[in-house]
Structures are given as C-alpha cells and as structure tokens.
Structure 1
Amino acid sequence: MTAQFRFASRKPLAVAIALSASLLAGAAHAHEGHQAEAKDVTAEAVVSQYANVAHATYSDALASANALRAANAALIEAPSEATLEAARTAWKQARVAYQQSEVFRFGNAIVDDWEGQLNAWPLDEGLIDYVEGDGYQAELGNPGASANIIASESVQIGADKIDTTEITPELLASLNELGGFEANVASGYHAIEFLLWGQDLNGFDAGAGERPASDFAKGDACTGDNCDRRGAYLLAANDLLITDLEYMVGQWAEGDKANYRTELTALPAGEGLEKMLFGMGSLSLGELGGERMKVALEANSFEDEHDCFSDNTHYSHFYNAKGIQNVYEGKYVTLDGRTFEGPSLHQLVANNSPELAKKMHDAFDTTMGQLQVMVDTAEAEDGMKFDQMIAPGNAEGAAIVNASIQDLVAQTRLIEEIAGTVGISGLEADTADHEF
C-alpha cells in the first residue's frame, strides 16, 4: 500500500458471535430503556451518558476481538477454507463496534494517542509477509517495506539489527513506525486483515484478497512458506489488539477514580459537550468525508481504501457515521441486540431549539440513508465495492461517494450550529486540511 499514516445499524452484518453480557453490564445499565424527558436533561447527564456509550462500544469491540482470537486459533489449529472464512467473518464483525468507537478519538487525547496501534492505515504490507511485486506499491524510501518479518529472524534498519526470532505482541508494538516510516504498521486490525486476506491484486476490478488457507497449513501442505510463523504473527497481533482494547474499556468504566472517565466527568460540563461535538464534527468532516472518501475519490486511488484487503470499506464508513449518530442520540445498540439509551445531546438541543434539533435528526437520517445506498450497492449480487466506485470514469460510483461526502459536510455544519445552542461558541470541526 502507498504509505500515509491515518488513524484513522440499519443493515448490520449478518454475522452472529457470542458476547459476554458481563462486559456490558456496567456500561450503562441504569440507562437501559426509555430516555428521560427532555426537560429534565442536564449537560452533566449528557456527558455522563457519552461515557456510558463509549464504555459499551469499547466493551463490544473487546468482546468481538476475543471472538476473532478464537476464530484465528481455530484456523491455525485446522487450516481449511471453512476455518479461514470463519476467521474473516469474525474480523468483519470485529469492525462493527470498533468503527463506531472512532468518534471518541477526536477531542479525547487518550484515545487519539492510543488509536494508531489498532487502526493505522494504509500500511506497507511487505513489512509483515510476502508480497507480489507487480501488485505492491510501497512508500518511497521505506527500508522496512520488504522486511518480511514472517520470513526473517532479524530485521536490519540502517545500523540497527532487530531480533524477530520470537514473534510476540511486544515485538509487534515495537515495530510500528519502524525507522520513522509511518507506513510500517506491524499491528492492529489492518495487519490482521492482511494476514487473513492477503493482497488485493484486483485493482479497480471486482475481488478482494485471495490468501489460501494453506498459507497456515502444517508440514508439506504449507504454501507461502513459514506457515508456523504466520500463525504466530496472527495470534500475537490479535493478543495485542485485545490488550489494547482492555485498556480502553478500563478508561471508560465507572468506579475507577484514576481513569479517563473520572477525569472527563469532573470537568465543567461545557468542556465535555465541546469534546463530544468536536469529535462528531471532526470524524464526520476531516476524517470520514476527507481522508477516507475525498482523498481516494479525487486521486482515483484504491491504495487509499480503508479496508483494502477485505473490500469491507463500505461497512467501515457506515459504522463510522453510525458512531457519530450514537453520540448525538446518547444511544448504543450492542452486537447482541441490547439498546443502551440515556440523556442525549438531541434532548439538550431540543430544549433550546426544537426546530434545529429536528434538522439535526433529519440530517443524520439523510447521511445514514446515503451510506446505506453505498452498502447496498456494494453488497448486491455483482455489486460495486468502494474500490470500484472510485475507479476513473465510474460516474455512478463517484456519484454515490460524492453524495455521501456532501451529506457529511451538511451534517457537520449543523453540528457546528447546534454547538452554539448548548453554549459552545466558535466550534469548528477539524477539516484535516481538506476544502469542502
């Protein structure tokens, strides 16, 4: 992948996984059920519910990462096309909650500083495993772009020689941004994605990565060489993902006087509201509308597709936007179907300007409806995935992506407007240096 480091339902994925109810029991149990009357809602209660939604979302992300770990272990134990497909399905399910969590990154430094180890993209996949030369475009000058950790017991970067004999979570964490190159991404969802799918060598044509299950096979059945180390890498990356998510679940949990939730809720409520609104607007505008859609469309670059190995990008975009709506509505629907609901920004805005609250609600419905079009188009028989939508000359695909961007821009302008209604003056979402 060309390197540029970005940290980065109405139709959920038809995937079932077992989730631990205990993970979510404390996330917002007091808010399960009907919301309070709007007239009774306070800014303090809205910020507290924001923390509840964050905890529930990260708890789901952790539970689905554990389910992914079980599926990956089953693949390594008995490699077959069936166990590989099950692992891929578990990876897609793990993205549902995590993508909804990205709205908490903006405005909360503890999330933003942590997020890169989980979701950095695009990456130079030659750092991790074998690549096909004709289909591989690495960052210019990156000495790690062909390191192939899986095939190597050491990696030489300049004068430094790094021992990679034992592949551990700690090793992978230490290799991120190796040699100062942001495209050297050794861990996180996209490293796991690459290991499960391999490169997508289809360009703008239909098709995702086609790594064979035999890349994890034992003995003479192994293809791609180093199958044992490939399996070890997959599990180490998954274990690091779980550890990272456990940390963030703890940061949003109730009852810990030393965690981020306590710090956030101790601030004046206006500061909490500002973090919420800045996060909503910045993910909507600069990150999702700009980095994840506008860049790829204007450059006609499948190298800038978010979930580029799996062709799951349409769902990642959808659930990013859903996370923004969740914060506004003070609501989260868990992967096992429970709804956690409480005091919301929508109610707070409605107290002051019912008309503006309705406009904001309608804008979210419009955006989610347009992203549903993207999902439906991608998932249809002979569908058009995101990397096909951005192909040169694809007017239909460009129209879908452009309409999505414009809806995100429109909802961001309303987010900035409602900030004033709740006492936050001069709020401007981060554009990530894009013009809209």
Structure 2
Amino acid sequence: MHKLLLIAALFAVPAAAPLAQTVAPAAAQKAAVTAPQVASHYAQLVHAGYSDSLQSAQAMQKAINRLLAQPSAESLAAARKAWLHARDFYGQTEAFRFYDGPIDSDEGPEGRINAWPMDESYVDYVEGNDTAGIINDRQQPITAEALSELNEKDGEENIATGWHAIEFLLWGQDLSATGPGARPYTDFVNGKKPNADRRREYLKVVTDLLVSDLRDVQAAWAPNVKDNYRAEFVAGGNESIRKIFVGLGSLSRGELAGERLEVALASQDQEDEHSCFSDNTHNDAIANAKGIENVWLGQYKRLDGKLLSGPGLRDLVAASNPALAQETTLHIRASVAAAQQIPAPFDQAIQGERSAPARAKIQTVIDRLIQQSKDLAASAQAVGIERLNIVQPE
C-alpha cells in the first residue's frame, strides 16, 4: 500500500442536474431513516464483514497447515484456492477504512494485514538471487513479534507480513506474461530447496498473525460490548455518518481509483499491481467496488449466502434528495459493473498504448469511481455534512 496523504477537502460540488422522478410516491410516505439507524446497521455490516473475513481466513489457515504438514502439488493448489476465496471477503471490508477506526488507527493492524507493494527479495529468494530475504538468513528469528517489527522497516516496500507475504509464499514471483507465479511445492520440502524448514515456519507464522489481527478487528465491532469501538460508533450520531462517507469516498478516489488503478495504468509496471503474484488484482478491484456498494445500499451477501439488509446511506440521502440518491446508486452500480470488465491478467492489461482496449476498460473504472466520489460528496452535503477528510492520491 502506498502511503496516502489524509487531507481536509471541502468538496465544491455543483448541484445535481435534474433527473426524472424514479422514486415511487409510496417511498416518500415511509418514515424517514435516521442517522442513528444507519450507524447501527453499518456497525452490523462491519461486524458481519470482518466475521466472514476471519472465517474464510481460518479456512485458508487450515489449508496452509495441510500444505505445511504434507507439501504436494495438490495441497499447494488447495492453499492457493483458499487464499483467493478469503481474499474476496477481505476486499469487501476495505470500505470500512480511512477514518482511524480499529483497522487503521495509529495502533491498528492494517499495515500488517494488507501493506503493498512488496519487495519480494525482503522475504525470500528471487530470480537472480537465491539467498535473498529473511527466510534465507538463518540468524533472523521467525516469530510474530520479529516479523511485525520487520514489516515496513526502513522502507514501505519491505513487507514482511499480511495477505501479500502469504500470497508471495504460495505463488512466488510472477514471471509469466500469461499466468500467475509458479512456486513449486518442493520449496517447502526439506532437501529440495535450501531453508525449506524456515519457509514453512515463515508461512505458518504470517498466516497465524493475519488470523489473529482479523480476530482483533472483528472483536472491536462485536455487538453488546460496553466499551469497544462499536459501542462508541453507534452512539456517535452525525459524526459516525461522516466517517462512513469518508471511508467510501477515500476508497473510491484515493485508494482504488488512484493508488491501485491510476498508478499502475500510468507506470505499466507489474510492481504497482496490487495482488501481482496470484494475478488476482482484477478481483481485488471488484471486491473493493462491491464493498462500497454494500455500505451505500446497506446490504451484504454473507459467506453463508444469506443477505444482510437494513438502512444504508442511500436511504438517509433519499429522505433529503431522492434524485441524488438514485443517481449515486446508479453510478456506484456502474462502477461495480466496470470493475467486472477489467481484463485478466491485470499486469498485461495495463500494457500498450493509451487507446488499447484493455487499458480503456481500466480507465472506465477509474472515471466511474471518480464520478461516484463526487456523488458521495454531494450526498454528504445533502445530509448536512459539509467537510470531509478524504484520502487523495499522491
């Protein structure tokens, strides 16, 4: 994750153009949704999202433990599949960031969980250097405490923990133009690759640490706890609504449109790709876009397939400006649909001339995310929030 600048940004948003009335007259007769109702349901969504992320990460942990106990092509493939599945649920939770909540406050674990881009040679061997990295330094302890301390030490790309460290250990460097990394399972077999024992130990420690961090974040949003973050948030009134808008606006513009798509599109460098080892970047973008839509609508399809639904920002905005609420909904849905059209693998889609069809599809996602960030700012104004601290791309 590139470091982003958190700045106070007053959005001067022009009045929305008049739209055809798309809200049924009966909707106006319903009792208006209140800020406390939206904040309370949002907290329920957050807890559900982190619970599913934790549960899917625990399933990944079990698959990785099976790989470590008995390395084989089959157990490695199963661990990779579990990573991809768990990654989708975590990606949707990124809409809960950017306002100094439990995930990314000064003491929060976000940097340990999802920091990127990663210098692979900081952790393990790379092409041209068989002895690179922490794994191949037998003097370096491999513990949760040691790796946490080493994460981002002396450089933002010195990533030692989290999703992308696990991803690298499962896939290895992506040296293919047509597919992901191809680390062999023998890297985890004693006698087949130097320091296989430390590679196994490292993968277990960082996986256990990820699960532990997700459990802590989930607990901060647990219901019926008097002194956790959720209790404070639910009682926060309009300030909590402001935080929700900050999270959605920051992910829309600064992080997803900016750091994750614009930067890579401009540099055409695989090192700027989010999940570069697994070639999962296109799915990361879809999950992030869906996470924004979940919060806006107040709806979330859970790991077990059930739909959690309740009052969202859309309903709160609709009470003041139905046309704006409808327009924002349409633009957010268009962003999700555009993200679903990003070609894979992403590292090849960013290549070529500006007018190349694959690049044009990525640019469409960027444009729609920028538009929805403006809609979100206008929506915040519609419910009386004039000033937002929005993360902007550097």
Q: TM-score normalised to the size of structure 2?
A: 0.89
One-letter code aligned to 2:348: Q
Question: For 1:123, which of 111, 118, 125 is the aligned residue?
Answer: 118
For residue 193 of structure 1, report the CA deviation from its aligned partner.
0.2
For residue 421 of structure 1, report the CA deviation from its aligned partner.
1.2
Question: For 1:83, which of 75, 94, 107 is the aligned residue?
Answer: 75
Q: Which residue of 2 aligns with 1:265?
A: 234
Which residues in structure 2 correspond to 1:263-342 (within 5 Å)? Answer: 263-267=232-236, 269-342=237-310
Q: Does 1:181 align with 2:155?
A: yes
The percent of aligned pairs where both chains have the same amino acid is: 44
What does the per-residue CA deviation read over 1:32-91, in whole Å, with 9 as the maximum and x for residues that have no partner? Answer: xxxxx9524211010011111110001111101111111001111221111111100000
What does the per-residue CA deviation read over 1:256-308, in whole Å, with 9 as the maximum and x for residues that have no partner? Answer: 122111121222x1111100011101100011000000001011111100001
One-letter code aligned to 2:279: D
For 1:332, what is the secondary structure of its paired residue?
Answer: strand
Distance in 1 (alpha carbons) for counterparts of 2:391 and 2:36: 25
One-letter code aligned to 1:368: V
Runs of 4+ in 1 over 6 A off after TM superposition: none
Which residues in structure 2 correspond to 1:10-409 (within 5 Å)? Answer: 39-113=31-105, 114=108, 115-133=110-128, 148-154=133-139, 163-164=140-141, 167-178=142-153, 180-202=154-176, 205-218=177-190, 220=191, 222-223=192-193, 225-267=194-236, 269-374=237-342, 377-378=343-344, 385-393=345-353, 395-409=356-370
Distance 1:339 1:346, change over 3 A: same
Q: Which residue of 2 aligns with 1:13?
A: none
Distance in 2 (alpha carbons) for counterparts of 1:254 and 1:214: 45
Distance in 1 (alpha carbons) for counterparts of 2:318 and 2:233: 24
Equivalent residue pairs, number? 368
Distance in 2 (alpha carbons) for counterparts of 1:5 and 1:304: 13
**What value does the CA root-mean-square deviation take over the aligned residues?**
2.0
For residue 6 of structure 1, report the CA deviation from its aligned partner.
7.0
The answer to whether the 8 A contact 1:5-1:123 is kept is no
One-letter code aligned to 2:135: I
- Greater relative contact order (Cα 8 A, min sep 6): structure 1 or 2? 2
Q: TM-score normalised to the size of structure 1?
A: 0.81
Q: Which residue of 2 aligns with 1:430?
A: 391
The answer to whether the 8 A contact 1:197-1:309 is kept is yes
Distance 1:69 1:6, change over 3 A: farther
Distance 1:175 1:257, change over 3 A: same
For 1:340, what is the secondary structure of its paired residue?
Answer: strand
What does the per-residue CA deviation read over 1:218-254, in whole Å, with 9 as the maximum and x for residues that have no partner? Answer: 4x3x23x111111111110010001101100000011
Distance in 1 (alpha carbons) for counterparts of 2:375 and 2:320: 15
For residue 133 of structure 1, report the CA deviation from its aligned partner.
2.6
The answer to whether the 8 A contact 1:51-1:252 is kept is yes
Distance in 2 (alpha carbons) for counterparts of 1:109 and 1:57: 15
The answer to whether the 8 A contact 1:38-1:350 is kept is no
Q: Which residue of 1 aligns with 2:9?
A: none
Distance 1:371 1:38, change over 3 A: farther
Q: Which residue of 2 aligns with 1:18?
A: none
Distance in 2 (alpha carbons) for counterparts of 1:299 and 1:147: 26
For 1:58, what is the secondary structure of its paired residue?
Answer: helix
Distance in 2 (alpha carbons) for counterparts of 1:183 and 1:389: 23
Distance in 2 (alpha carbons) for counterparts of 1:48 and 1:226: 50
Unaligned runs of 5+ in 1: 8-36, 137-145, 155-162, 379-384
Unaligned runs of 5+ in 2: 6-28
